[in-house]
Amino acid sequence: AATAPRIPSTRLALHYFDTSYSPHLGALWPSVRAGLLCEQKYGALLNNFAAADHVPQELELLNATDFVSEAPQKAQQWQRGAAVGEAARGCQEGSAEGRTVTRAEMMTQAEMSQPLCPSISSKIKCYTFPRGDITRFRPARPDALGLLDYYLMDAASLLPVLALNVQPDDFVLDLCAAPGGKTLALLQTGFCGHLAANDISISRTKRLYQILQSYVPKEVRDTVSVTSYDGREWDQVKCGTFHKVLVDVPCTTDRHSVMEEDNNIFHRRRTKERQMLPMLQLQLLMAGILAAKPGGELVYSTCSLSPLQNECVVE
């Protein structure tokens, strides 16, 4: 072991992704691979609690746009394109089968997937720069009360929050909450009757406290309970009490794994921990299900492309 070549964890991660993701993603993998290896671009999640009405105009002058409000239009364009492609393929297949695809069927296919809930998407605003624009956002600034005007985060991290579709007065559980970006986004909706934010790591929970203090007024913080329980045992704390549950599980964190040596799960000493991730994820998902009320809703999410950590866990 002492004389064996020391291969960086980032290279081990990239080799693993090349061998496992390439067959899974096929022709998409080269562009996805390039994306993983690019410097991370952040989005600016506007803080609705701060007195910062000037910030949207300031960001728009820099050519940044709110990707949440643009999403429904882009989704509809994509759906129509997919429907037309499906219709064309159906017509080609139908020539042999004597079947035609009508315009009504094409529209039905285009409208099957509904855009983001308007009530949620109107509350959450996250500005991003266009593709190819690597402009950096300025550091967040405090308002007169000391609340920062926006929070810099990976914009894709908002997607699980939007999918959760929180409704007014919902009791919400964020089972793996730290460092706190999704917790903050949930509060931006203004709909949480009570929000339980839990994370097993005490050090990461301290970071969550810091974010809440920097962005959220005290009267809203009073509706949030922050805990450091083992999420797998949450059902022993409060079972069947939440309308909405977000289970954003620990994972291989693919971008971090190919970019950073620090705390890299592909380090040789963490092989066993990495191999056990799907079981940990399954246990957290089951605990989240048990925490939900009958008829409640749960979103399971990762920041990994691995089918073992996504589809297989859900199945």
Give residue 100's pLDDT: 34
Catalytic annotation, pick one of 117, 251, 303, 312:
303
Give residue 98's pLDDT: 38
Q: What six digits make up the tokens of 183?
A: 């917790």
Q: Is 177 annotated as a binding residue?
A: yes
Q: Is 288 annotated as a binding residue?
A: no
Q: Is 180 exposed, middle or buried (0-12, 13-18, 19+ CB in 10 A)?
A: buried
Which pTM value belongs to this model? 0.84
Give residue 85's pLDDT: 61
Q: Is 199 annotated as a binding residue?
A: yes
Q: Is the peptide bond before 160 cis (omega within 30 degrees of 0)?
A: no
Contact at 8 Å (CB) between 291 and 173? Answer: yes
Q: If we measure between CA atoms, which residue out of 137, 156, 155, 151 comes closest to residue 187?
A: 151
Exposure string for 252-284, b = 16+ CB within 10 A, e = fewer: bbbbbbbbeeeebbbbeeeeeebeebbebbbbb
Contact at 8 Å (CB) between 161 and 151? Answer: no
Q: Is 202 exposed, middle or buried (0-12, 13-18, 19+ CB in 10 A)?
A: exposed
| Residue with the two structure tokens 């990976």 | 154
What is the CA 174 to chain-centroid distance, rounded? 12
Q: Is 230 annotated as a binding residue?
A: yes
Give residue 87's pLDDT: 52
Q: Is 176 annotated as a binding residue?
A: yes
Which domains, and CATH codes, for the chain? 39-77+121-313 (3.40.50.150)
Q: Is 248 annotated as a binding residue?
A: yes
Catalytic residue check, 303: yes
Give residue 119's pLDDT: 57
Q: Which residues contact 24 (CB under 8 A, 6 or more apart)?
A: 305, 307
**Alpha helices, DSSP H, located in the chain:** 9-25, 29-37, 55-61, 67-97, 103-111, 118-121, 158-164, 181-188, 202-215, 218-221, 254-259, 271-275, 277-291, 311-314
174 three-state secondary structure: strand
65 three-state secondary structure: strand
Contact at 8 Å (CB) between 47 and 215? Answer: yes
- The Cα 82–Cα 80 span in angstroms is 5
pLDDT one digit per residue (tens) for the chain, 315 residues: 677 668 899 999 999 999 999 999 999 999 999 999 998 889 999 999 999 899 999 999 999 999 898 877 666 666 666 665 655 555 444 444 333 333 333 333 334 444 455 555 578 999 999 988 889 999 999 999 999 999 999 998 999 999 999 999 999 999 999 999 999 999 999 999 999 999 999 999 999 999 999 999 999 999 999 999 999 998 777 788 999 999 999 999 999 999 999 999 999 899 999 999 999 999 999 999 999 999 999 999 999 999 999 999 999
- The Cα 198–Cα 208 span in angstroms is 10
